[in-house]
Amino acid sequence: MIKPHGAERLNPLFVDDTEKHHALQQEAENLPSLLLNSAAAANAVMLGAGYFTPLTGYMNLADAMNVAEHMQTTDGLFWPVPVVNLTHDVSSIKGAERIALCDPNVEGHPVIAIQKVEAIEEVSPQQIEQMTEQIFGTLDTAHPGVATFTSLGNQLIAGPIEVLNYSYFQQDFPDTFRTAVEIRNEIQAHGWEKVVAFQTRNPMHRAHEELCKMALKALDADGVLIHMLLGKLKKGDIPAEVRNAAIRKMVELYFPPNTVMVTGYGFDMLYAGPREAVLHAVFRQNCGCTHLIVGRDHAGVGDFYGPFDAQEIFDQIPADALEIAIFKADHTAYSKKLNKVVMMRDVPDHSPEDFVLLSGTKVREMLAAGHPLPEEFARPEVAEILMKFYQSETAS
């Protein structure tokens, strides 16, 4: 099986030893506490689940700046996006060697992790700006990732963490949330050697379904990991529980048995385009996947990135940075000429009128009005789930 990134084995920071877990929970009751923002809590979940192997906790300022500028830590580990714990006010934890990190996304704010405080550093406005521009390629606060990152605070708390729970993800998505450890184990149990990962924050239409099948066939792969983001999204994106139901229905009805794993991970979307695509590759390698599908405008938002920027970045990083390979995909759509879904680059004789193409706005309008989507665009069983959601939204 493919090795984890930068390590011989996964390094999940979740404390699964019962005795130690209980002792840490007791210790947390007497520690100074810090209420995390959602971004830092999501980083804790990813660190706990082994997705961010080989990291041991939150980066210090030197590492965060170096990762933003050069995509590597100061000791040379390839990493595409800073993994930080930023906050506005550190008065409650000043002088503390260990602190309890509290979850902002769960009622009562339970302790999600304990952090050893190695440094508390003030980040200047210029440094925040520099990191923002390097991660997102823009300073425009109309970009949801920029708006979030620049609002997190200017106090950076660095140090290793021990994770005590997976926030709301395990409870809200018990059949879907999986750690990198669990995914690796399941891949091994299937006996799969070549595994293609498909990243999604949306329900999957016919084009997405066929793209996974194209990659399976082209790579002669054993299976597909459909891996959906379960964390915070921008306004207007479809909630995780609706997306989950739609994807599971599609896999159940339209994929051969035992060729797909439907799973999810607990992270907030960055919308960082190319940089986030590389992060997706890093943690899919940690899951045991050998390939990642990177399509048109992968992890992008609006018009902030070119359609293939997220593919081109993989040609710019060091050749030995990652072991996972990239399956580069073009936009896929149903061809009226050929009566099947195709990659647009494979049919140069087609004009836009030869495809069944619907904008996101048009899809939402049709579903909200109770109008069925064309079967060439979406499976009817999937469209039905989405229609119920949009109609309930309209009614409320």
What per-residue confidence (pLDDT) applies to 46?
98
Q: Rounded to an integer, what distance in angstroms lies between the CA atom of residue 147 and that of residue 300?
A: 15
Strands 86-87, 155-163: pairing kind: antiparallel
DSSP state of 97: S
Q: Minimal CA–CA distance to 316: which of 48, 140, 80? A: 80
Nearest C-alpha neighbor of 346 from the set 335, 357, 362, 356? 335
Statement: residue 394 has pLDDT above 80: no
CATH of domain 173-265+271-395: 3.40.50.620
The tokens describing 309, both together, are 């920027």
Q: Is 18-167 a domain of CATH 3.40.30.10?
A: no
Residue 44: predicted pLDDT = 98
| Alpha-carbon span 38 to 340, nearest angstrom | 42
Q: 320-353 pLDDT, tens per residue? A: 999 999 999 999 999 999 999 999 999 999 999 9
Q: 3-class DSSP state for residue 121?
A: strand
As given in the structure block, the two tokens for residue 294 are 């990177």
Convert the pLDDT of each residue in 138-148 to its tens digit. Answer: 999 999 999 99
Average pLDDT of every residue of the chain:
95
Counting residues of the chain whose pLDDT is more than 70, the rounded percentage is 100
Banded pLDDT at 396 (limits 50, 70, 90):
low
CB atoms within 10 A of CB 89: 10
Instruction: Give the pLDDT confidence of 79-136 residue by residue, as tens digits.
Output: 999 999 999 999 999 999 999 999 999 999 999 999 999 999 999 999 999 999 999 9
Q: What is the pLDDT of residue 283?
A: 97
How far is 309 from 316, CA to CA, in rounded Å?
11
Residue 20 has pLDDT above 90, yes or no: yes
- Catalytically active residues, by annotation: 201-202
Domain chopping of the chain, boundaries: 18-167, 173-265+271-395
The per-residue pLDDT for range 155-188, each reduced to its tens digit, is 999 999 999 999 999 999 999 999 999 999 999 9
CA proximity to 236, closest of 199, 202, 277: 202
pTM, full prediction: 0.95
Q: Cβ neighbours of residue 267 under 8 Å, at least 6 residues apart? A: 42, 45, 46, 51, 229, 230, 231
